[in-house]
């Protein structure tokens, strides 16, 4: 039996996940591919290409276009954003919350964008981070309950205070280190992510 037939029987739409990775995104692509293989998730990686010298705005428009395309095709769409990718996820959620099921953030740099510095201070990321801070202010209590933010016990790159979102489902995970947390959550954290997102699907309610 085809996956599409199963969805028809249970009257559910397929859940399509868009992964948005961070500045070191190429290191995590294999983990996302493993998730596809193990869990059979319909998904794709949205490549921001952080730090390529191009502005954030056209990248953001490309992301919104992808969301609209997937929704039009009959999918329930969710976003998982890691590190810098969390800012893109928040920005998209704020303007497409009527189309997105929810978002999951992993070690996301979503607060205090003014503290971004050093080798991480790429203009597209900085612009996205400041926009995300403004976008969060537009989300009400119900919107924030559709956000799951996970972060490490200790992270030398993104602190817990920069990942916590008032009113969202904030969770500390038992890992130490930025890259380790992202890598383990993209694989081992998947069952929890999927349960969270599937509960939010309109067709599951």
pLDDT digits (tens, 9 = 90+) for 110-132: 999 999 988 899 999 999 999 99
Question: What does the alpha-carbon distance between residue 63 and residue 107 come to, in Å, rounded to a whole number?
Answer: 21
pLDDT lower than 70: segments of the chain = 1-12, 25-41, 203-205
> pTM here?
0.89
Two structure tokens written together for 168: 């969202």
CA distances from 68 to 45, 77, 95, 103, 110 (A): 16, 9, 11, 16, 24
Tell me the per-residue pLDDT of 22-59, one tens digit each, with 9 for 90 and over. Answer: 887 655 565 565 565 556 568 888 999 999 999 999 99
What domains appear along the chain, each with residue ranges and CATH number?
3-204 (3.40.50.1820)
Q: What is the CA radius of gyration of the chain?
A: 16
Question: What does the alpha-carbon distance between residue 123 and residue 101 come to, in Å, rounded to a whole number?
Answer: 29
Between helix 85-96 and helix 123-136 the angle, nearest 10°, is: 40
Residue 188 phi/psi, 5° resolution? -70, -25
Pick the closest to residue 87 from 9, 145, 21 (CA basis).
21
């Amino acid at each position: 039996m085809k996956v599409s037939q199963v969805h028809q029987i249970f009257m559910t739409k397929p859940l399509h996940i868009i992964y948005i990775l961070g500045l070191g995104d190429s290191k995590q692509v294999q983990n996302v591919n493993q998730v596809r293989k193990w869990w059979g998730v319909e998904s794709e990686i949205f490549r921001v290409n952080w730090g390529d010298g191009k502005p954030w705005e056209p990248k953001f428009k490309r992301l919104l276009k992808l969301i609209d395309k997937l929704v039009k095709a009959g999918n329930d769409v969710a976003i998982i954003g890691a590190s810098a990718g969390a800012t893109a996820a928040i920005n998209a959620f704020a303007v497409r919350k009527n189309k997105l099921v929810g978002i999951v953030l992993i070690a996301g740099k979503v607060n205090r964008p003014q503290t971004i510095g050093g080798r991480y201070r790429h203009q597209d990321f900085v612009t996205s981070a400041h926009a995300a801070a403004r976008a969060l202010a537009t989300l009400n209590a119900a919107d924030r309950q559709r956000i799951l933010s996970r972060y490490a016990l200790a992270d030398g790159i993104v602190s817990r205070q920069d990942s916590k979102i008032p009113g969202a489902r904030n969770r500390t995970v038992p890992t130490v280190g930025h890259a380790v947390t992202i890598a383990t959550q993209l694989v081992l954290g998947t069952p929890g992510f999927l349960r969270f997102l599937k509960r939010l699907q309109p067709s599951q309610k």
